[in-house]
Amino acid sequence: MTARADLYPTGPEIERLRLVAAGAEPADLIIRGGSVLSPLTNEFLERDVVIAGRHIAAVTPVGHFTSAGEIIDASGRFVTPTFIDSHLHIEYTMLSPGQLARVSVPRGTTTVLTDPNGSANFGEDAMDYMLTTAAPLHIFQQVSPTTPANRELERGGIQIDEQVVLDRLTSDDTVTLGESNPFELGPVAAERYSHAIRHGKRITGHTAGQSGESLWSYLAAGVGDDHNAVTIDEVLERVRLGAMVTIMASSLTDNTPSIFSDLERIAPAYSGLAFCADDKHVVDLLAQGHIDHHVRQAIRFGVPPVWAYRMATWHPAVHYRLDQAIGIIAPSRLADLQIIDDLAEVRPSSVYVAGELVARDGVALFADTDPTPEWSNNSFLVPDGFAAERFTVATEGPTALVRAAEMYNGYFKRAFTAEVPVADGNAVSDPANDTLKIAVVDRHYGDGLLGIGFVRGFGLTRGAIATFTCMNMNISVIGTSDAEMAHAVRELRARGGGFVAVQEGEVLGAVALPLGGMVSNADWSETASALEQAHAAAASMGCTIESPFIVLSFVGLAGVPDLGLTERGLIDSATQTFIDVVVREDSQ
């Protein structure tokens, strides 16, 4: 956890900064002659950045001061603040915070605002673990508002008391109330929103599928940002209503092409835009990048570089009230900055955090020294000999009409009905028509409680794949038969979670994620190569989704229309009520 107060200069540091800026003492470091981003005037200016200790003492004309512990020549290159991810769940990177730092910091992202809603299932120690690292990555908290999100609809791993949420909201490391369920109304939620605002925090929104009155009602709670806007109209509507849009590019979907598709229309909203990765696994972080990806995309679509860099730095710093510490290269701010050869390439040759060189040419210069936590020990509880019969959907045959969710464009789920075969009084998967049984299985209580639905869009023709569910960290499993699904669950149990792809008794791919079954603190390269292998295994089984495990983990999300699925059952998202999976039995 990064406390704001710890980033600001102390009294003795201010004394020194003033002396250095006055030329009375030599600097520790001068980055000489680079084109330095000036976000408030929309310029790049040739300047020297004069650094004393952790902070910037002065930004001067080139060559003004000549005495420093070290002088770095940046002439012909660009110097910008390092990037801020405005909304990230570290859990879905599959990496511990220290390993994430080793991947993201060399790519220029040195601050993440994170909602630990997955680790919340294991209690406050786990949340604090996900918010803490000794690595040079600032982690600010977006307080998970309710765990589980809806106690009527899901059990999750643990219930977090409302008072814990309120207390965490006042913490100095907190920047926002994390993303809330827009359908949650009533006095408890209203008090929580009010508490956040009155303590100077923003409220992070989640407005998928919202418009008109439902959007207005959500924003009336004080919601100050949104990362689900996909179209220019959605962006303009939200920005005009005072909500910053933190454009999402995740492993589920990349909203940058849509939002930057018509610059004439989107340009008036530039100052209301920032960037977030939300849910992005390690393989995509490596292949695409972190916030550097958003900046590259924006410039590629024609956004002026000065604006693209502002969206990644100054805009979120101001919006989340971090601008006294980060987001601008200016006196008294932390010396968090990067030297970039090509503004459009966005590949920093040097990254500094608090005045220290922490990465060079894409390689971290620091180790991950974070300790292995204890909260995840024995946290994966699934009954012995988990059998296929648990997935029975009892109905009459020869076919049944069932409710199913069609996956498209990431995790958005259109409800439809499908005719599936019935075998021995059990409605089963119909891989020939890409309609697969999906189940969410409890792993916290050891009783094997599960909910069942059907889904189309994965394309699996053989075997089964399983992973954790987002939010609750239960098991999400799809398969071409109940037996394959049960095998996948047993293999997950044997590994304490993670990902598995199974077929005909064989394990074709697996990723061990030993911390809660959701992240690994092994070297990021090991996690990435295991995940690549698991993706290849799923593809070999006919899967047509590029990142099937992360999509699978989001299929059941109850707050995203049309259908949700938890360990308690199938849910109509709009009404937040349980519904039957079988619409009509067919006894002909």
Choose between 277 and 335: whose C-beta lies nearer to Fe ion: 277
Choose between 278 and 368: whose C-beta lies nearer to Fe ion: 278
Which residue, 304, 354, 444, is CA-closest to 28?
354
Residue nearest to Fe ion (CB): 278
DSSP string, 449-477: -EEEEEEESS---SSEEEEEPTTT--EEE
- The residue range among 276-284, 481-489, 509-517, 553-561 that interacts with Fe ion, by the rule CB under 5 A, is 276-284
Does 278 interact with Fe ion (rule: CB under 5 A)? yes
Tokens linked to 461: 């023709």
Does 184 interact with Fe ion (rule: CB under 5 A)? no
Query: Nearest approach, Cβ of 134 to Fe ion (angstroms)?
Result: 25
Choose between 309 and 412: whose C-beta lies nearer to Fe ion: 412
Choose between 278 and 442: whose C-beta lies nearer to Fe ion: 278
Q: By rule CB under 5 A, what string of x and - marks binding of each residue 131-160 to Fe ion? A: ------------------------------
CA distance 404 to 2: 43
Does 28 interact with Fe ion (rule: CB under 5 A)? no
CA distance 582 to 528: 39
Q: By rule CB under 5 A, what string of x and - marks binding of each residue 324-363 to Fe ion? A: ----------------------------------------
- The residue range among 184-192, 273-281, 499-507, 526-534 that interacts with Fe ion, by the rule CB under 5 A, is 273-281
- The residue range among 123-131, 174-182, 450-458, 547-555 that interacts with Fe ion, by the rule CB under 5 A, is 174-182
CA distance 307 to 444: 46
Query: Nearest approach, Cβ of 87 to Fe ion (angstroms)?
Result: 6
Phi, psi for residue 464 in degrees, rounded to 5: -150, 155
Query: Nearest approach, Cβ of 535 to Fe ion (angstroms)?
Result: 22
Give 269-309 as a 3 state SS string. Answer: HHHHEEEECECCCHHHHHHCCCHHHHHHHHHHCCCCHHHHH
Q: By rule CB under 5 A, what string of x and - marks binding of each residue 223-262 to Fe ion? A: ----------------------------------------
Choose between 88 and 346: whose C-beta lies nearer to Fe ion: 88
Query: Nearest approach, Cβ of 248 to Fe ion (angstroms)?
Result: 8
CA distance 257 to 263: 11
Query: Nearest approach, Cβ of 573 to Fe ion (angstroms)?
Result: 16
Tokens linked to 170: 């006042």
Q: What angle do CA 142, 477, 583 make, to 5 degrees?
A: 100
Choose between 117 and 426: whose C-beta lies nearer to Fe ion: 117
Query: Nearest approach, Cβ of 377 to Fe ion (angstroms)?
Result: 27
Query: Nearest approach, Cβ of 279 to Fe ion (angstroms)?
Result: 6
Side chain identity at residue 190, one-letter code: A
Choose between 225 and 278: whose C-beta lies nearer to Fe ion: 278
- The residue range among 171-179, 246-254, 445-453, 528-536 that interacts with Fe ion, by the rule CB under 5 A, is 171-179
Give strand pairing partners of 38.
Answer: 43
Residue that the structure tokens 């998967």 belong to? 429
How far apart, in Å, are the Cα atoms of 435 and each of 112, 541, 575? Answer: 38, 15, 24
Query: Nearest approach, Cβ of 196 to Fe ion (angstroms)?
Result: 17
Q: Phi-psi region for residue 378, left (φ > 0), alpha (ψ -120 to 50) or beta?
A: left
Query: Nearest approach, Cβ of 208 to Fe ion (angstroms)?
Result: 10
Tokens linked to 28: 């520790």
Phi, psi for residue 120 in degrees, rounded to 5: -55, -25
Query: Nearest approach, Cβ of 323 to Fe ion (angstroms)?
Result: 23
Phi, psi for residue 143 in degrees, rounded to 5: -70, 120
Query: Nearest approach, Cβ of 90 to Fe ion (angstroms)?
Result: 11
How far apart, in Å, are the Cα atoms of 386 and each of 153, 437, 480, 489? Answer: 24, 17, 17, 7
Query: Nearest approach, Cβ of 160 to Fe ion (angstroms)?
Result: 17
Going through 196-267 in order, the beta strands assigned E by DSSP cover 202-205, 225-226, 244-248
Q: Is 172 helix (H, G, I), strand (E, B) or coil?
A: coil
Query: Nearest approach, Cβ of 386 to Fe ion (angstroms)?
Result: 30
Give yes or no for a contact between 173 and 1, defined as CB atoms under 8 angstroms apart: yes
Q: Provide the greatest CA pair distance for the chain.
A: 94
Residues 6+ apart with CB under 8 A from 237: 211, 215, 229
Choose between 136 and 157: whose C-beta lies nearer to Fe ion: 157
Tokens linked to 260: 């930057």
Query: Nearest approach, Cβ of 425 to Fe ion (angstroms)?
Result: 40
Choose between 179 and 237: whose C-beta lies nearer to Fe ion: 179
Which residue, 282, 510, 486, 491, is CA-closest to 380?
491
How far apart, in Å, are the Cα atoms of 560 and each of 6, 343, 412, 572? Answer: 38, 37, 7, 10
Choose between 85 and 179: whose C-beta lies nearer to Fe ion: 179
Give strand pairing partners of 370.
Answer: none
Tokens linked to 552: 């699978």
Residues of this chain that interact with Fe ion (CB under 5 A) are 179, 278
